[in-house]
Amino acid sequence: MSDAQQIDGGQAALWNGPGGQGWVEAQALTDRVFEPFEDLLVEAVAAVSKGAVLDVGCGTGRTTVAIARRLGPDSRCTGVDISEPMIASARARVERDGTRARFIRADAQDHAFEPAGVDTITSRFGVMFFADPVRAFANLRRAATGDAALRCVAWRGAEANPFMTAAEQAAAPLLPNLPPRRAGEPRQFAFADKRRVRRILEDGGWTDVDIRPLDVECTLPEADLIAYLTRLGPVGRILQEADAETRARVIDAIRPAFDPYVRGADVRFTAACWMLEARSGR
């Protein structure tokens, strides 16, 4: 492992490779699936922000743009992500929409943000991937004004999100190289432990920490389910590089695991998450 990988936990390689490319290819679909979280964060940020917002792990920029649109043309909304493919997609989105938002390709854990430059920090599923989360939240706090607000959504545990792990469980006999999920590692469910998340935020210098469960129903068209499964998550990343025979066998194995979620023409599942709120406390 290189020094860079040791610093970021391998996240740069992941999100600048198949992980990031999969999200770009599935951008329209994921925008639809996670739109309820976008709506929640836009309202939460609009209630506290004076107009200077940093969106951490912004991906392809949908939430950043929605916040910028809500706060108006005088706002200063910035999205940051480690993935070059996703940042390129976010910048293309702004060019199409004409919204005033900007995007930075950087690791928010160590990037030299303008000190005290934003009054609100937000994230939709982007803060679970830091190799050193305390260091990351301390860095984000330095970017925040003295009375800044933190409003982020993160996943709870795997056991509370069976939809998110169904493909891995079904594909495991066919894909022995599937990476195991380890508690606390920088992946989707890194923030499963509420007490650990509180310690991370407080050790990073944030105060008035409030962490509450958030259960949101998400929907995608059943016709798009295979596209979703074969582009995203650990199984999707492996299938992007698998041969046609392996790909077909895995799809045949995992598709029945999602029958319980099919409701007519739609697939519906509950996303079990945390809403994280805090103040910069300076």
Task: Please state whether beta strands 52-56 and 76-81 pair in parallel, antiparallel, or not at all (unpaired).
Answer: parallel
220 vs 106, 179, 270, CA distance in Å? 31, 26, 12
Q: Residue type for 224, please? A: D
Mean pLDDT by 10 residues, the chain (282 residues): 44 80 88 95 96 96 96 96 95 90 96 97 96 97 96 96 95 88 84 97 97 97 94 89 92 96 97 98 70
Q: What is the model's pLDDT at position 22?
A: 83
Domain borders along the chain are 3-158+182-219+271-279
Q: What is the model's pLDDT at position 5?
A: 38
Q: Find the DSSP H helices in the chain.
A: 3-8, 11-15, 18-25, 27-33, 35-48, 62-71, 84-97, 133-142, 162-171, 194-203, 225-229, 233-240, 244-254
58/21 Cα distance (integer angstroms)? 14
pLDDT digits (tens, 9 = 90+) for 162-211: 999 999 999 999 998 888 877 778 889 999 999 999 999 999 999 999 99
41/124 Cα distance (integer angstroms)? 8
Q: What is the model's pLDDT at position 282?
A: 63
16/14 Cα distance (integer angstroms)? 6
pLDDT digits (tens, 9 = 90+) for 1-17: 233 333 455 778 878 88
Domain 3-158+182-219+271-279 - what CATH class?
Answer: alpha beta
SS3 content of the chain, % helix, strand, coil (to 5): 45, 25, 30
193/208 Cα distance (integer angstroms)? 18
